[in-house]
Amino acid sequence: MLPRAFICLLLFLVPSVFSRAALPQEIYKTAGDAKLTMDIDTPDDWKASDKRPAIVFFFGGGWRVGKPDGFKSQADYFAKRGLVCFRPDYRVFSRQNVTPDKCVEDGISAMRWVRANAARFGIDPDRIVACGGSAGGHIAACTFFTTAINAATDDKTVSHLPNAMVLYFAVLNLYERYSMSGEEVWPGMSASTAKKVSPLELMKKGIPPTLVVCGTADSNIRNNKLFVDKARKLGAKVEGFWAEGQPHAFIGRGDWFGKVMARVDAFLVGLGYLAPMPEDAPVTPVNVKGAKKGGKKGGGNK
């Protein structure tokens, strides 16, 4: 499907020496004492009068830890390709002592904020991608499937639904863990609440175009493949990219970052969100500092 194993990127350089243009960080939500920030990465030729596609990256970390720079490498790349990139912070257990449903609530608030400010940021409100890894992939998926959880301060007249999704090794069923154990898996979150934030329990028609990425040695692979199968039966345009033999958060391992970025790029080109790569574009492995060690540069988060 891909014309190249890697896209290169004179469009993507080592993060330690190269960074995309960025707008000033803003606060998109206040929840108790937490002031939740939004980092915004823009193309070099960005103007507020543009109407570009946008992508919102939700970091992973098991709903317990993590920071928005977990997807900085991907944001640098896609800003260079022409997208306006948003990286929201959200509450996590280690900092705010919250349960996963509150993480989802913040994700929904972030999507509303991006769409409400579309004109200010030069983006098309009908071309917003939700993307995330692991717990962040769960949050990205929930921005479409979860409708029963909303912050009291949200403007509910603004839709939080993404127009497309890219889900990296996402956790797609929290309720399953409760039903299997019969016990409270996450202290303070009931089984009924877990069901409200479990995409596989909430499957419905109208799922936007979605790319699901997962390693075949990841414990989430069964549910990721089940999600793709169920979505297709509902008529959705959903694609799966299965990395043979790879574990959870594999993107930072070896040359997988380049392979996955090429696949995501092709998916967004297919939607018309990106222009095709020029045929004479140089092709080399993507150089990512620390890639062989994994971690945040792969956008993975464990």
Q: Where are the domains of the chain?
A: 9-298
Average pLDDT over residues 243-268: 95
Average pLDDT over residues 135-153: 97
At 215 the three-state DSSP class reads strand
* Residue 268: both structure tokens together: 């967004």
CATH, domain range 9-298 = 3.40.50.1820
Mean pLDDT, the chain, rounded, equals 88
Q: Regarding beta strands 210-215 and 238-243, do their DSSP bridges make them parallel or antiparallel, or are they unpaired?
A: parallel
Q: Is the pLDDT reported for residue 185 higher than 90?
A: no
Rounded to whole angstroms, the Cα distance separating 266 from 283 reads 15
Average pLDDT over residues 160-186: 87
Cβ neighbours for 285, distance < 8 A, ≥ 6 positions apart = 6, 8, 255, 258
Q: Is the pLDDT reported for residue 283 higher than 70?
A: no
pLDDT > 70: percent of the chain: 84
Q: Is the pLDDT reported for residue 221 higher than 80?
A: yes
Q: Is the pLDDT reported for residue 19 higher than 60?
A: no
Supply the DSSP string of 224-275, one letter for each residue: HHHHHHHHHHTT--EEEEEETT--TTGGGSTTHHHHHHHHHHHHHHHHTSSP
295 vs 156 pLDDT, higher one: 156
Q: With cut-offs at 50, 70 and 90, classify the pLDDT of residue 277.
A: confident
Rounded to whole angstroms, the Cα distance separating 57 from 73 reads 11
Q: With cut-offs at 50, 70 and 90, classify the pLDDT of residue 178.
A: confident
CB neighbours (10 Å) of residue 27? Answer: 12
Angle, to 10 degrees, between the axis of helix 256-271 and the axis of helix 72-81? 40
CB neighbours (10 Å) of residue 126? Answer: 11
Query: Residue 281 has what pLDDT?
Result: 60
Query: Residue 21 has what pLDDT?
Result: 67
Instruction: Kindly list the distances between the CA atom of residue 231 and the CA atoms of 126, 207, 210, 228, 243, in Å, as whole numbers in the listed order.
Output: 21, 7, 9, 5, 20
Q: With cut-offs at 50, 70 and 90, classify the pLDDT of residue 13.
A: very low
Q: Can you list the positions of beta strands (E) in 89-209?
A: 123-133, 164-168
Taking alpha carbons only, the member of 138, 197, 143 closest to residue 168 is 138
Taking alpha carbons only, the member of 104, 109, 162 closest to residue 131 is 162
Cβ neighbours for 183, distance < 8 A, ≥ 6 positions apart = none
Q: Is the pLDDT reported for residue 192 higher than 70?
A: yes
Q: Which tens digits make up the pLDDT trace of 85-132?
A: 999 999 999 999 999 999 999 999 999 999 999 999 999 999 999 999
The pTM of the full predicted model, rounded to 2 decimals, is 0.89
Sign, CA dihedral 110-112-116-119, equals positive
Taking alpha carbons only, the member of 211, 92, 98 closest to residue 162 is 211
Lowest mean pLDDT among 116-130, 157-171, 172-186: 172-186
State which H helix or E strand residue 87 sits in. strand 84-88
Alpha-carbon 201 to chain mean position: 20
1 vs 243 pLDDT, higher one: 243
* Residue 60: both structure tokens together: 């992973």
DSSP-assigned letter for residue 91: -
Rounded to whole angstroms, the Cα distance separating 161 from 182 reads 32
